[in-house]
Amino acid sequence: MVLYLVGLGLGSLDDVTVRGAKALDESSYLYLEAYTSVQEDLSVNFLKERYPTKEVIEADRTMVESACDDMLERAKNSVVSFLVVGDPFGATTHADLFLRAKEMGVEIKIFHNTSIINAVGTTGLQLYRFGQVVSIPFFDGTWRPTSFVDKILENFQMGLHTLALLDIKVKEQSVENMIRQRPIFEPPRFMTVNQAVEQILSVLSDRNLQEDNVQQVEKHILTPQSLACGVARVGCKDQVIRFGTLEELRHFDFGRELHSVIICAPELHEIEESFRQLYSK
């Protein structure tokens, strides 16, 4: 039989491609990946209502990364669809799943869709001017990874925009519950543009206070007054696009999840500048 990797797009189930929709109709099992991205209109309950005769399973991080063999075994004898918000290859985890399916001799077919990585073109910032994509994790007490800022600075120095994907915490356990092996999970958390900008500025501030910092040039190129663009719910009816300085975006209300932030290149193309003016009002 076959395993379908189906991209759901960013808005709703209506955004699935025609070929992807046919794959869902053919499937006996629908696995909804529910940790690299989530969408209110693409929940397990919604899928159960739309496909009442099919078995719908939520695929959390543990299942996908460590316990997907049952799904792959099913795909040897049944038609199985693995559903991903955005595009199936928007996360490294799904590339690993593809390789594991190949190793097990499972036939696999891909149905691509829009992801945040190309949908940010709606901001008017030209996609060919984007550098490496970064992920910004939640700071947690003394755990403050800062490598994402190094990548932002590298892009900035090369005159490139940076798309920053913001942390999502779904079905996470506290350290105590993990140690005690209690199946109790923390409430979901979704990083906002405001939190992401706060962390970026915090890292830059810490570095600029270090007198022996060999990269002193950093404080001269990326500051609270540097231009950025915050986006929320791209592809949905209530999407938000807002340009402003990092300091301005720090205080702007983007509403509910999901959010992403773009740190703009030092100079904009004239068309990009027109979009900046449009989305700064």
- Asked whether residue 90 is marked as a ligand-binding residue, the answer is yes
In the numeric block, the tokens 């209300």 are attached to 253
Please indicate if the annotation marks 234 as binding a ligand.
yes
Dihedral class, residue 154 (left if φ above 0, else alpha if ψ from -120 to 50, else beta) = alpha
What are 64-82's pLDDT values in tens digits? 877 789 999 999 999 999 9
pLDDT for 184-243, tens place per residue?
667 788 999 999 999 999 999 888 755 444 444 444 478 999 999 999 999 999 999 999
Tokens of 30: 């629908």
Mean pLDDT of 33-59: 86
pTM: 0.89
What is the token pair recorded at 23? 């794959």
Contacts of 187 (CB under 8 A, 6+ apart): none
Percent of the chain, pLDDT > 70?
90
Instruction: Write the DSSP symbol of residue 122.
Output: G
Higher pLDDT, 155 or 38: 155
> Is 116 known to sit in a ligand binding site?
yes
Does 87 show up as a binding residue in the annotation? yes
Asked if 231 contacts 240 with a C-beta cutoff of 8 angstroms, the reply is yes
- Domains along the chain with CATH numbers: 2-114 (3.40.1010.10), 117-280 (3.30.950.10)
Would you report the helix, strand and coil content of the chain in percent, each value rounded to 5? 40, 20, 40
For residues 85 and 72, give the distance between their C-alpha atoms in angstroms, rounded to a whole number.
20
Which SS3 state, helix, strand or coil, does residue 89 take? coil
Output the DSSP codes for 162-199. EEEEEPEE-S---HHHHHTT----PPPEE--HHHHHHH
Distance CA 105, CA 88 (A): 19
